[in-house]
Amino acid sequence: MDKKFLGTVILPGMFDPVTIGHINSLKYLSARSDKVIAVIMTLKSEEEQRWIPSSVMKTLIEEAVAEEGLDNVYAYVEDSNWLAQSIETLGADGVARSFHPSIDMNREMELIQAVIDLDVPVHLIPSHLDLRSSQIRLLSEEGYLDEVKDQVPGSVFRYLQANAALRNMEETLR
């Protein structure tokens, strides 16, 4: 088997939650890479601020990529938030980034410069994002779960449904 031109590439992000935009990015990379790793970047000290815990999100990403048949895509939790550590630990040949309309360009440029300083290629890829993770979270928390159904993988939607049902039961019991 010939090596694909991107080798092993990582896609770092919060993935809170993983969206169809993320999955589209993983599909794009999967077709061009031997191995793709969605790196969930969360400091241990910030874990409690996540909407969906990193360990759960890792499982949801794994389920979503399995449903898509992406057998060369994996998920990894980086809890020290050191991208350099992820690159080394995972043997990455490159780091992928996708841009969307509401991205913080200053923060993104800092990340890109940090990767370039590590002498690792940065692959800018197309983004197919309708809603950001924060927008999905807001709509879900406001009770508009059906509005986000097409914006998240099935594994995430089922998780959100189960948690909404649990919250409704807890509210009923109060």
Distance between CA 27 and CA 35 in Å, rounded? 11
Residue predicted with more confidence, 131 or 101: 131
Instruction: Centre a 10 Å sphere on the Cβ of residue 52 and count the other Cβ atoms it contains.
Output: 21
Find the domain containing 127 and state its range: 8-173
Q: Tell me the pLDDT band of 174, cut-offs 50, 70 and 90.
A: low
- 72-98 average pLDDT score: 90
Q: Give the model's confidence band at 83: pLDDT under 50 very low, under 70 low, under 90 confident, else very high.
A: confident
Residue 37 · residue 23 · CB < 8 Å: no
- 10 Å CB burial of residue 22 (0-12, 13-18, 19+) is buried
Residue 98, domain member (yes or no): yes
Question: Residue 130 — pLDDT band, cuts 50, 70, 90?
Answer: confident
What is the spatial distance between Cα 96 and Cα 145, in angstroms, rounded to a whole number?
Answer: 30
33 within a domain of the structure (yes/no): yes
Q: Which of 5, 50, 1 is nearest to 31 (CA)?
A: 5
Residue 94's CATH number: 3.40.50.620
pLDDT at 173: 64
- What total of structural domains would you count in the chain? 1
Instruction: Assess if residue 28 is contained within a domain.
Output: yes
